[in-house]
Structure 1
């Protein structure tokens, strides 16, 4: 760029100063390093220690770092968009009017207080009137329409073995705490403490709703959930995608899994006409169905009442909001203070009308130039992944050909959808906060029901453009990067390329590699669940994945609390692949020229620092316990350690034998 100044008769052309990166002099915040630490002893601290020391987690957050900082920015930007919509008297029925009315209704705390429990009372009365198992089953089926996590959780999605059609899936669900381990783990005293506080929360919510004998009813709820937890699959078992595909003829469900009135359940859920259902957790569904048939109706009524109150508490008067936050926010995540109402309103509006809001977000905050640069970076990473697949020594040649063919038909989606979702059938009424939220849930559920029997629409997105995240979808053989993640420190058009490749490049490589990890490899190039690897490939691959499991299982996010290497295997492998592929792509981008030295840092050093920087994250202990128990991702502050498997990292930072993170060359894990 340049500016032109007219001084008298002379024309003076002045070159504008080059735009500076957001972080530091070249895209990395060097002031956040702790150079007193030896990289080989604590690489994450060397790269990020001072930043983490100075970082104070905001009171309304359970953790904070680079991801959450960008989420704050996205939330602030979205606030401006929805508040403008709320202040503008757009024509009735338009998306702008719906966005504004939804947000204004959520923000109208006075009206919500005045209405009290009245908006929810018809549902609570219907639960109290349940008199038989058929009505119980129908209510459980309707929970799925309502967006309430049901004991039998029903979803519509692409058929894993016939990717050209949509199918109905059912699986386990319905727990009020984050995972079955919160009920079943008797060794960790932290879980025992949470169990006690959970029962107190159930009692409190029932009491606020005027339910008689609230403490006794709360015990019924907890005991019932503990029985549900006892029959459920662990998160490690649920990762095995081939074991979660179990088609059953709809007519055979009653005999196969007795106890639940399947006709009533499926009719209420809107799928009774489907000839077959795919069961994801067969023994869990069988056990749950038996509990529906065996446990007392009044226990189930207490359960349904509590879960209805818990689901809609954020749209009820303050005493319900505060009660839910005290457990879900403070007990489970250690978060001292609930987010301001506007933040919750922005998130609620984005959940209900995500792509309508996203359309506004993209128009204002995602320039075409940013998309073009991101598109080019993705192509470079895909090319680097292809080269790595071609060079594999442990994969049979024929399998390697198929792997590269799968990559060749890959679809990257960048920024925002090619066509936007239609919200014409969603009714939003200003002043009806709870009704708006319920109608939004039912609208999305019906939108899925309407897909049955129709061609797959592969243009759809599973995230909004305002989302700071990314995902891989193996059934569509795609990776998706919303606009909001394509910002510093992940991607900065003014940063040194090494930092961008270490940041967003590694994230892109991470998502691409999911299609070849221990579960993604089970899908072929059409997205079909199929065996296309040889037995020898699988055996050699398992030797490598076992090393990944063992390496991560040695990490302790909290004293005595180890990473579950099996649960986090896919994400840890993706980190390993992502950083390797991005490193290759960075060097290819140099076109054979040496990288410049900047501020005393070589290109390789800047690459690894750029990678480490995106994982600057600090957690409260309760949040870290929940993350380690339930999340397939390793805690952020440990993720930079994957670099210890790359020879280039040793060359860049001089890690040597005797240092904590040092691995001998033969112990460095090389998968892709």
Structure 2
């Protein structure tokens, strides 16, 4: 894997290769009408979505390069058959994942002991105890729980109790009347029936069990909050003393069951959606016992279906990947297994990955880019005329103390206690889920480790963590597939990396949700109230812009649910551009492949969102994701950037034109 360009100087294109930006543009489309189509049109025409993919773009191309390297690491580890250490974990996991003879012979056998335990439940107490055990194995029945830093005390770890327990992607699928969602809901009972049939039920019994599951999930969905409502950090922070949870759920003895979940060393928990837990209490108390057991059995098998024999894998694929996401055929087993391996022991692979493919020199280059963008943001904040001096001073302080993590962790997780062998694949996956569960629960009562990473170095993604006030930039994110760092000019790099990643993640610290956390990562009202009012008024302009966008059928983008990401996109573009203007590449103004530095900056940003997706995925994203579709992450923010008009001569009457009075004036 190659990193991008140095933050200083202007790299030259290799004469033997096409310019990566010019090669993708479609000059039959005007950048003034549809910049996304202009920037990617030729690439899209030449790169149809492979049958085993549901989206295809630069992320998949990066992952393809990574996959070849990671598969080589796996195959070498299998051959070495090490008895201990990271190579043993990798080699034995890969052996079990590829051992299709035993996987097909075993069928559902790896799950049989747990299914028998569920079938043997006699009392509500036993049922709740068994449901807690399922949680430790990665099966989130009835609710969702996790350990994270306390939003109001970032130095302490807390246990969060959230809504969950659904088989469809989210609550909207149970009630949304748009034809795509309605079709999925209509076919869900058939999938449920099919899975119960594979578990051994006759058709009539399977149909009855399917109806039980759908009825319980519909009740859970009714009590679940909508996507946009989950973005309010105050409304979703409700701290309860464990001994007082009885007032919320009289029928569930949480002190007992939280102990079974491993919740120790704390006397309180944070309940995200109290009304949801009241519904859970009622469901557990009043629903037929056999129906509750059906619900639990289905969720267990559904969670592990992809690690069982082919009938389970095929059924799960047909519903979730083919129907909901539009895939035409299954991915090859190595591709699927690698995705699972990345989830369970990705950091083990990451240690080998960065050793071979990411240098200290590259790490230093991108650390410097972060500082250049940070300084550009500081200068922009200092000039804001709508923010009061008090809020501005604290905002700048928060920005300047924001931690940057670039490339890979300084300290790796210790997986020595994880048992992986060459036995059943599903058993290895379950032990991996249990390891992660215990790893998380063991944080309770201990000091927060602010050095920890929540992504592997080989992940093509990045994140901002408000509780740590940090941005995390994995090594793989700094990759343009097929090009070495010296082949990419600064204009491209500042658009592709400084804007769409570094500036984007930094801006998350000041978006509609992140801005409510202070410089230490605590949820607190540190803004002057008039500044909050002004921020919301200006941000609402972006909400209204995106609310009007209709990517497919009659389904609009949810401007409120996607506000945080849309703000981060716009902020990243503005800040990255300010940083780019300080470079020699910008000041010299030399064209590359016929494009000015400013034009290449915007094309470089668009390169980060080079993506096509199946209609089913697009419709699913609009209902479940806080990110706008890729096209709108380009065409949406650009009309709010003055330099975009200059770079491409955008005029009134052009589709990418917005009158200044309709633009967002925030950062």
Q: Given the two structures, how large is their TM-score scaled by the length of structure 1? A: 0.95
Partner of 1:422: 414
- 1 CA distance for matches of 2:489 and 2:653? 33
Task: Give the alignment of 1:83-232 within 5 angstroms.
Answer: 83-90=75-82, 92-185=83-176, 187-212=177-202, 213-232=205-224
The CA RMSD over aligned residues, in Å, is: 1.7
1:137-164 CA distance string (max 9 Å, x none): 1122222211112322111111111111
Partner of 2:488: 495
CA positional deviation for 1:22: 9.9
Partner of 1:63: 55
Contact 1:74/1:467 (<8 A) preserved? no
Structure 2 vs 1, CA of residues 310 and 242 (structure 1 numbering), >3 Å: closer, same or farther? same
Partner of 1:4: none
CA positional deviation for 1:588: 1.0
CA positional deviation for 1:523: 0.4
3-state SS in 1 of match to 2:468? coil
Does residue 568 of structure 1 match 2:562?
yes
- 2 CA distance for matches of 1:331 and 1:351? 24
From 656, 659, 662, give the equivalent of 1:664: 659
- 1 CA distance for matches of 2:163 and 2:110? 29
Runs of 4+ deviating beyond 4 Å: none
1:467-497 CA distance string (max 9 Å, x none): 1000000100100111111111699442110
Question: Which range moves more in the overlay, 377-386 or 138-147?
Answer: 138-147
1:540-598 CA distance string (max 9 Å, x none): 11111110001111111113111000110000000000000000000012388332122
Partner of 2:6: none
CA positional deviation for 1:23: 7.0
Partner of 2:3: none
Contact 2:13/2:488 (<8 A) preserved? no
From 234, 239, 252, give the equivalent of 1:242: 234
- 2 CA distance for matches of 1:297 and 1:454? 39
From 395, 408, 411, give the equivalent of 2:387: 395
Contact 2:324/2:616 (<8 A) preserved? yes
- 2 CA distance for matches of 1:21 and 1:591? 19
Unaligned runs of 5+ in 1: 1-16
Contact 1:475/1:527 (<8 A) preserved? yes
- 2 CA distance for matches of 1:492 and 1:333? 34
Contact 1:568/1:633 (<8 A) preserved? yes
- 1 CA distance for matches of 2:514 and 2:399? 12
Partner of 1:13: none
Partner of 2:510: 516
- 2 CA distance for matches of 1:565 and 1:276? 35
- 1 CA distance for matches of 2:331 and 2:622? 24
- 2 CA distance for matches of 1:228 and 1:150? 11
Structure 2 vs 1, CA of residues 631 and 415 (structure 1 numbering), >3 Å: closer, same or farther? same
Q: Given the two structures, how large is their TM-score scaled by the length of structure 2? A: 0.95
Q: How many residues end up aligned between the 2 structures?
A: 652
Unaligned runs of 5+ in 2: 1-10
Question: Which range moves more in the overlay, 429-438 or 542-551?
Answer: 429-438
3-state SS in 1 of match to 2:581? helix
- 2 CA distance for matches of 1:435 and 1:598? 54
Partner of 1:465: 457
Does residue 270 of structure 1 match 2:265?
no
Partner of 1:629: 623
Contact 1:157/1:166 (<8 A) preserved? yes
- 1 CA distance for matches of 2:577 and 2:420? 49
CA positional deviation for 1:168: 0.9
CA positional deviation for 1:614: 1.8
